[in-house]
């Protein structure tokens, strides 16, 4: 029996840093798209710069929202942003709330990333390490764009890193505070200017360690660089840093990238990360979004 989660408005899945739609037969949102399309949702994956700051990527998203509205005849869209994609979605909703029905942050660094802080401090401004790091990251981003066959968009790895630090996101939040909690670890306003805000994320320390999943192992190593939330992060983003609007849950036992895919080490007692998207589509449907 087919499960119905058809939303009133189309859903845009917004990728984060180094994200893409497809390389060869591999799709970043493959499992998510399969489940939501089977449930009757209209889905789109916008092309954004693989590396750039939040506002540049937000402007690109606004342009593609306009294309989706023209192509579908819809009045609004639902934005689900993974990682940095959540910040682009927030920017679009802040500037054009009339065309955004909802913003959902999945593992989004809504108060910045301590990992980005660590990397930023490790680079010496204006010296060789910074130049080398930017060159390598930019070439990698350009390679991803080439392999994915997407339209070439500007990339700036250093701008992306600066935009993901706690200082960089703090400056972003000063301009675009919609949906942010007033207290650390709390919930934010669930609706601002007619836009509904939601979020969910995970904690890698609570996930079941699997030798079959090298990505999870990497996230566990990276989690050691967090000082504010040392045991409460997904390897890239702190638990409370991810909070936005209605916090569905921020301690799912999964790492930063597991919120996009089914891990090789997933067991019967762990939540299915892809099922969370189906449940959320039903949530949006119930809210007439």
In whole angstroms, what is the distance from residue 190 CA to residue 195 CA? 8
- Annotated catalytic residue 234: yes
Top mean pLDDT of 36-40, 192-196, 212-216, 261-265 is at: 192-196
Other CB atoms within 10 A of residue 7 CB: 26
The pLDDT of residue 183: 94
DSSP-derived pairing of the beta strands 195-202 and 191-192: antiparallel
In whole angstroms, what is the distance from residue 41 CA to residue 263 CA? 24
Residue 60 has pLDDT above 70, yes or no: yes
Q: What percent of the chain has pLDDT over 90?
A: 52
Name the residue among 59, 22, 88, 7 with its Cα closest to residue 278: 7
SS3 call for 224: helix
pTM: 0.85
Residue 37 has pLDDT above 70, yes or no: yes
Active-site pick, 49, 83, 105, 155: 83
In whole angstroms, what is the distance from residue 279 CA to residue 106 CA? 13
Active-site pick, 47, 256, 259, 280: 256
Residue 90 has pLDDT above 80, yes or no: yes
SS3 call for 216: helix
Mean pLDDT of the chain: 82
Active-site pick, 53, 117, 213, 234: 234
Continuous H helices in the chain: 30-38, 54-72, 85-95, 114-122, 128-148, 157-164, 166-175, 214-222, 273-286
């Amino acid at each position: 029996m087919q499960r119905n989660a058809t939303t009133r408005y189309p859903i845009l899945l917004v990728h984060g840093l180094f994200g893409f739609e497809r390389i060869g037969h591999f799709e970043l949102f493959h499992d998510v798209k399969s489940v939501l399309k089977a449930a009757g949702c209209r889905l789109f994956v916008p092309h954004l710069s693989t590396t750039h700051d939040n506002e540049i990527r937000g402007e690109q998203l606004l342009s593609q929202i306009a294309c989706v509205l023209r192509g579908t005849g819809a009045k609004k869209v639902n934005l689900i942003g993974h990682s940095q994609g959540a910040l682009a979605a927030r920017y679009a909703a802040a500037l054009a709330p009339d065309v955004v029905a909802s913003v959902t942050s999945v593992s989004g660094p809504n108060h910045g990333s301590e990992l980005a802080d660590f990397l930023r401090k490790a680079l010496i401004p204006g010296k060789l390490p910074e130049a080398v790091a930017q060159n390598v990251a930019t070439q990698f981003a350009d390679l991803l764009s080439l392999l994915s066959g997407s339209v070439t968009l500007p990339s700036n790895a250093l701008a992306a890193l600066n935009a993901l630090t706690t200082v960089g996101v703090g400056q972003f939040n000063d301009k675009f505070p919609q949906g942010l909690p007033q207290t650390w670890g709390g919930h934010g306003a669930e609706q601002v200017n007619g836009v509904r805000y939601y979020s969910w994320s995970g904690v890698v320390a609570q996930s079941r360690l699997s030798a079959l999943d090298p990505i999870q192992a990497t996230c566990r190593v990276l989690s050691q660089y967090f000082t504010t939330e040392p045991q409460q992060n997904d390897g890239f983003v702190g638990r409370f840093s991810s909070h936005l609007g209605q916090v569905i849950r921020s301690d799912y036992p999964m790492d930063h990238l597991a919120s996009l895919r089914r891990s090789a080490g997933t067991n019967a007692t762990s939540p299915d990360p892809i099922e969370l998207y189906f449940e959320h589509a039903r949530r949006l449907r119930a809210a007439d979004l």
